[in-house]
A = this chain, B = another copy of it.
Amino acid sequence: MAAWGQRLAGVRGVLLDISGVLFDGAEGSGVPIAGSVEAVARLKRSRLKVRFCTNESQKSLGDLVELLQQLGFDISEGEVTAPAPATCLILKERGLRPYLLISDGIRSEFDQIDTSNPNCVVIADAGESFSYQNMNKAFQVLMELENPVLISLGKGRYYKETSGLMLDVGAYVKALEYACGIEAEVVGKPSPEYFKSALQEMGLEAHQAQ
């Protein structure tokens, strides 16, 4: 306990994952992991700053937060770092017009993005939208570019739903990387930039957070 006390001495904030840590997902719903609702409530009552950092890329931020609230969590949109808003910033900064290989559930996040005459591909956890036709379209867009840019919202191998293990976006990223001979840019964990942006939003340095 002494070691823990020492280790936590300089800690001023906590960054929490969501899927698989606060709850296990199921088709359009989910189940809180035992003790997690109370743990979030206790952290928020403590002196620590709390922020949530997710790679969720199948649901919009609004839908995700709504689900968490329904499950009993005290969480608002402003407390969550999610890859889709971070990706939109990058697209605007670099003048990129994506072909979106994403699920319908997250499409609204890209409403303000120009997708005409694509000069990059954005890939997220698209679930059933990972059809051969959609994958092949993304492949063809990349192969026609002089400098192919593939932006991936996370690079997870798989995730757990109550019904079992599910292939995650990382598998499909690998498919396109191999076919096109390129490497994707990852927006999301474990990218250091992504953690840094979450810390910035908390106003903390890395050594001040757990």
* Interface set of A (CB-CB < 8 Å, partner B): 126-133, 135-136, 139-140, 143, 157-158, 164-168, 170-172, 174-181
Given A128-B133, A132-B128, A167 and B171 touching (CB < 8 A)?
A: no
**Chain B residues positioned under 8 Å from A126 (CB to CB):** 132
Query: How many copies of this chain does the complex contain?
Result: 2
Q: Which residue of B lies closest to A155 (CB)?
A: B178
**Chain B residues positioned under 8 Å from A135 (CB to CB):** 130, 167, 171
**Chain B residues positioned under 8 Å from A168 (CB to CB):** 179
**Chain B residues positioned under 8 Å from A178 (CB to CB):** 157, 170-171, 174
**Chain B residues positioned under 8 Å from A174 (CB to CB):** 174-175, 177-178
Contact of A165 among B127, B139, B167, B171 (CB under 8 A): B139
Q: Once the chains bind, are B179 and A158 in contact (CB under 8 Å)?
A: yes
Q: Once the chains bind, are B165 and A143 in contact (CB under 8 Å)?
A: yes
**Chain B residues positioned under 8 Å from A171 (CB to CB):** 135, 139, 175-176, 178-179
